[in-house]
Amino acid sequence: MAESAPAEHSGSSNMTHIAPLEDSGMRDACGVFGCVAANSWPTQLDIPQIISLGLVGLQHRGQESGGMVTSMGTEGARYKQKKASGYINAIFSDDDMIKLKGNLGIVISFPKGHTRYSTVGGSDVTNIQPFVVETLHGLIAVAHNGELVNSASLKHKLLKHGVGLSTGSDTELIIQLLTHMPDCGEPNGANWVGRIRKMMKQTPTSYSLVIMHNDKIYAVRDPYGNRPLCIGKLLTAASFSGGSMLQNGEDSCDGYVVSSESCSFGAIGAKLYREVLPGEIVELSKDGIKSQSIVARPEAKLPAFCIFEYVYFARPDSIFEGQMVYEVRRRCGRQLALESPAQVDLVSTVPESATPAAIAYADALGIPYGEVLCKNRYVGRTFIQPSMRLRKLGVAKKFGLLTGNFQNKRVVLVDDSIVRGNTMKPVIQMLKNAGAKEVHVRVASPLSNTRAIWEELVANRVKMDKIANHFGADSLKYLSVEGLVKATQEGITRTDNQPVGHCVACLTGTYPVKLDW
């Protein structure tokens, strides 16, 4: 149930049923966002509006719930928060924004922000982030994108030490670890970098975190860099009226932001500064951006950035590893054309994340590209709606047919992925019923064939040689794992000597670390 107004943090709590840490396989793609005002405080920036707009730019990563925590950033300052289910624009009213005024925040940021799929811990409001807890050194707020691979052992360890858990969220495990004093002690007061490092050494992956304490925000990425996280600078008013930012001047910006994706920066007048490195702890304060520490991967292993960010989760205008997601998807389309050409009259797509791949596929084969489906943009993506019934209803309401473009033609539909398959099957049936001569399918990502993935996934229910028949397609072929990795990595140019590596576990079942969830 949504709160009517932001609530001050309180030490009291209600009895809560602890949801199990269920197996989920393919990981959720949450969106975290934070902002801290630069220069003198109290700031003239509308921090709640900035982080709310920033999180709207990440709404494609999850549409179920969101929360915001803000603070004036002074020692002992209260944390104001608002959490509820639904789209970000519907959660925060004008009245909420006034009450949430601060110098930093999380939705999550100081302010800080977070949206999430309900893969672990359920959709209960008690699982909505950011989480706020009292520590020896005052309040902290934490927002987390990812899921821990060793959550079962961590949960057992905490319970064994007498720590009570009130939610089924991995984020609560992280926040409890952060309350532990670092091994080096704290002879000179709070050592949050030491606490974060200790937590990271117990949690190899998968997370990107935004942590707020007093006047600082810490942007943290796990040592494998499995989830994205980047930092930006809020441009000054002069930047929008013909002025220019100084090349290396912190004085030239109004604040600092951290986000799961760089695509959220444009709407708030921010500029991408850089990505947070795997294992890095970056401190954001009114005084600037400072890299505090890097926790190394064990045994000098390669990074394991989730390759599905390029395939599906991310917005095409986001930048990862120095390259735009759109260009990676185009290269996937070209590679798909090399591996699995189709003899058809028209190349099309299921709108709209696969459009770059479909256009590149058509160009590579010299076949016309055209639209066959008209998308209702007010219906959400079917993959991230909570129940099977809603997903199936979503497909029926989602598309209109552009029949004049495909009647009596052989059509190949290029899609970015087939996860559960609830969209593709009825779409093929609609096209054939409306006069398509043939409907072929080409998928610009590999088939997932691991049992670690949700049982609902089509690859776990239908044998490979039966998948085309299952969907009613005349043929169906996937991009190879090798082809996806090639298309992803050939555009990466590193100038910082950082190694390149990607996690393809959701496609092969081979994980970069041992699983214990």
Just list the catalytic residues.
30
Interacting residues of 74 by C-beta distance below 8 A, sequence separation 6+ = 214, 215
> Going by DSSP bridges, is the β-strand pair 112-115/65-71 parallel, antiparallel, or unpaired?
antiparallel
Q: Which two tokens stand for residue 207?
A: 């997370």
Looking only at the bridges linking them, the beta strands covering 305-306 and 502-503 are: parallel
Pairing label, strands 373-375, 399-401: antiparallel
What Å distances lie between residue 184 and 42, 53, 192, 194, CA to CA? 35, 40, 12, 8
Provide the strand spans (E) within 58-160. 65-71, 80-85, 104-106, 112-115, 131-135, 138-145
Sequence-distant (≥ 6) Cβ neighbours of residue 462 within 8 angstroms? 470
End-to-end CA distance of the chain: 29
Euclidean distance between CA atoms 79 and 103, whole angstroms: 11
Lookup result for tokens 């702890």: 281
The one-letter amino acid code at 327 reads E
Give the integer Cα–Cα distance in Å for 350 and 439: 12
Report which secondary-structure segment, H or E, holds 502.
strand 502-503
Q: In one letter, which amino acid is 83?
A: K
Exposure of 195 by Cβ count < 10 A (0-12 exposed, 13-18 middle, 19+ buried)? buried
Number of Cβ atoms within 10 Å of the Cβ of 75: 9
Residue 62 C-alpha from the chain's centroid: 8
How many whole angstroms separate alpha carbon 517 and alpha carbon 506? 15
DSSP letters for 7-55:
EE--S--------------SPP--EEEEEEE-SSSS-SS-HHHHHHHHH
- The β-bridge relationship of strands 410-415 and 346-349 is parallel
What HEC string does 401-435 produce? ECHHHCCCCEEEEEECCCCCCCCHHHHHHHHHHCC
- What one-character-per-residue DSSP string does 174-216 give? HHHHHTSPPTT--TTS--HHHHHHHHHHH--S--EEEEEETTE
Closest to 440 (Cα-Cα) out of 466, 414, 403: 414
Instruction: Give the three-state DSSP class for 330.
Output: helix
